[in-house]
């Protein structure tokens, strides 16, 4: 399947010059959604995985489906202030300012093998912060899986530089 055929591109969103890659069209196509999840799971067949971490918000959809298929637990990696219990957090830089991701302090146990899932890897800031947070909590992040890679923005390379495997299903030039 050519995933680029089922992903909508919206020019100039959220600001001029950006080509927004919208996976809601992939999610709405049962065959494409199933295939995407199957392909995100396949590299981890036979690999020791304890939990799947999904980055808010589209990573919840994909990560939940991957966790279900692997019969593993799911960790929501949320934006600051969204979790109701004691949290651990990690700040990361935005183009103008900072943001923060958080997990519950009891989301992982020391030594848990975790994969990180999201819809898209662009600059890699959020995924990088999620990896650092999970590892500080005691997990071993064994890889990351994304539907889309925007290689010109360097995020996948930033994650690989941490020694993490990065799996993607489709690459789009430009951003």
**Could you tell me which CATH class the domain 48-171 is placed in?**
alpha beta
b/e per residue, 87-110, with b = 16+ CB within 10 A?
A: bbbbebeeeeeeeebbbbeebbee
78 is catalytic: no
- 151 in Cβ contact with 124 (< 8 Å): no
Residue 173 has pLDDT above 90, yes or no: no
Instruction: Please give the helix or strand (H or E) that residue 143 lies within, else none.
Output: strand 140-149
User: How buried is residue 138: exposed, middle or buried, by Cβ count under 10 Å (0-12/13-18/19+)?
Assistant: middle
- 152 in Cβ contact with 173 (< 8 Å): yes
Total-model pTM: 0.96
At 30-70, the pLDDT tens digits run 999 999 999 999 999 999 999 999 999 999 999 999 999 99
DSSP-assigned states of every residue in 96-109: TEEEEEEEETTSS-
Of residues 58, 72, 78, 102, which has the active-site annotation?
Answer: 58
**Pairwise CA distance, residues 9 & 125, whole Å:** 22
At 82-108, the pLDDT tens digits run 999 999 999 998 867 899 999 999 999
**Pairwise CA distance, residues 175 & 19, whole Å:** 5
102 is catalytic: no
């Amino acid at each position: 399947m050519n995933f680029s055929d089922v992903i909508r591109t919206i020019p100039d969103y959220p600001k001029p010059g950006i080509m927004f890659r919208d996976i809601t069209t992939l999610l709405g196509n049962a065959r494409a959604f199933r295939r995407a999840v199957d392909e995100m799971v396949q590299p981890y067949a036979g690999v020791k995985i304890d939990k799947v971490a999904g980055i808010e918000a589209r990573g919840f959809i994909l990560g939940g489906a991957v966790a279900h298929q692997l019969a593993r637990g799911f960790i929501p990696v949320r934006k600051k202030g969204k979790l109701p219990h004691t949290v651990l957090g990690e700040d990361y830089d935005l183009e103008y300012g900072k943001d923060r991701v958080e997990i519950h302090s009891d989301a992982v146990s020391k030594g848990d093998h975790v994969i990180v899932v999201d819809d898209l890897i662009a600059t890699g800031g959020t995924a990088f912060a999620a990896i650092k947070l999970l590892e500080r909590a005691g997990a071993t992040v064994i890889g990351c899986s994304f539907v889309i890679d925007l290689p010109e923005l360097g995020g996948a390379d930033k994650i690989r530089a941490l020694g993490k495997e990065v799996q993607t299903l489709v690459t789009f030039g430009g951003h």
